[in-house]
Structure 1
Amino acid sequence: MNAQRAQEKASLLYPYGVDEHDHKNPKLDDGTSKKLSLAVPFTFYSKKYQTLYVNNNGVISFDTPVKQYTPDPFPLADGRPFVTPYWGDVNNVLGGDIFYRESTDPTLLARITDDINQYFSKIPYTATWAFVATWDDVAYYGSTSNKGNTFQAVLTTDTKTSFIILNYWDIQWTTGVASDGDPETGLGGTPAHAGFNSGDETNFYNIPGSQTEAIINITKTSNVNVPGRWVFQVDDFKVTGVPPKVAVSNNCFL
């Protein structure tokens, strides 16, 4: 990676990996982290959660792990509340790592605070806690290629207001073979899904392009004018930065 690309990556993704003392998920197809207890409650769609799972297949779930590899349309009928930066059939046995950490590091919190204040200037906010999960160059199930995806989800709160930041650095595939994807291209079949499911069977949010071939372009889209970044207030969920040509109903893109 040349110096310019490295700088662009560092400006989009918050620091992660071994140097940040991140934990790492096991090398296991459809695997998950252990049940993680949070130091502070995180409010998501008006409910407070104090445990979560980082699931290999691109999902951060509250209360219960998610091993499902082919995404379903939102809202889910089974009431699972979760955030999905990129719900698809990851296989980290074939390549890549899933990192995560809980943090109160002042440098990280200051950077997150500056970003949130830039995007949500009317909401007073100073981050006091963050959870950073990063899927680093992860392969897809059944892959016969070297394609990998790198994306990140950041949960942050000041104990009252909660935000989620989704960062997409490099998306090279959309679909695993078990979801009818092509083993050489990682395309076709049922593509990945990005968004939120509240768990109440009513409120949900789909990032444009979800479960279509267009999701591979998520590195170029944004609701905060930063290509590859989507940011949402999620304690009392609000759609932010809706493109004018897209209709909105039930907190979702149509």
Structure 2
Amino acid sequence: MATAADASRSFAGLSDVSIPEDIPVEGDITVPVDSSRREDDEFSTLDEPVKETILRDLRAVGKKFVHVLYPKQSSELLQDWDLWGPLLLCVTLALLLQGGAAKNGSQGGPQFAEVFVIIWFGSIIITLNSKLLGGTISFFQSLCVLGYCIMPLTVAMVVCRLVLFSITGTVSFAVRLVVVVASFGWSTFASTAFLAGSQPPNRKGLVVYPVFLFYFVISWMILTFSP
């Protein structure tokens, strides 16, 4: 068994070791910076002007509107989700639907709060249904897609109000019917194009059916509206 004396004899020669004077020992000690962290620092928005931040957000919202106009099965609308666009469309549609004509002494047309609740409550129900069926899309991503895809129906509401002010009778109803049906199909197609890739293949029908009902209810409110 080794003793303390044996250990001292083993390391006795280390005291004679010296560092030659011609070997440089000076230098800078630096800590490598992660490239991804450096990029995050470069694109930090903490010092960004408010005007630039607002313009950047508006450009992002406008880009999502373009994706709805040209829908395709991709995740571009889901990568950077937001609820500003859906909120804007919901408020616009609710304002346009407010104040319908009264019939038989009752208040005609849905009110602002009713439209607001129908749109958001319906979107939440569809999102929960998608998650329960095994969808991989997140809660807010689904709300983003369903909200942005209301845009064709909002445009249809604007067109219908213009038609109601300029044309009356059967022709007015026929024009509004064509516009609403086309917008309904566009909204349904666009939303399913973005949501299809995140659903199980054998359950896509169960996910599409509530989406169909959701946009059908909104389309019916638009078609039956009378100022």
Structure-2-length-normalised TM-score: 0.28
Structure with more of its chain in helix, by fraction: 2
TM-score by length of 1: 0.26
* Higher share of residues assigned strand: 1
Q: Which has the higher contact order (CA 8 A, sep 6+)?
A: 2
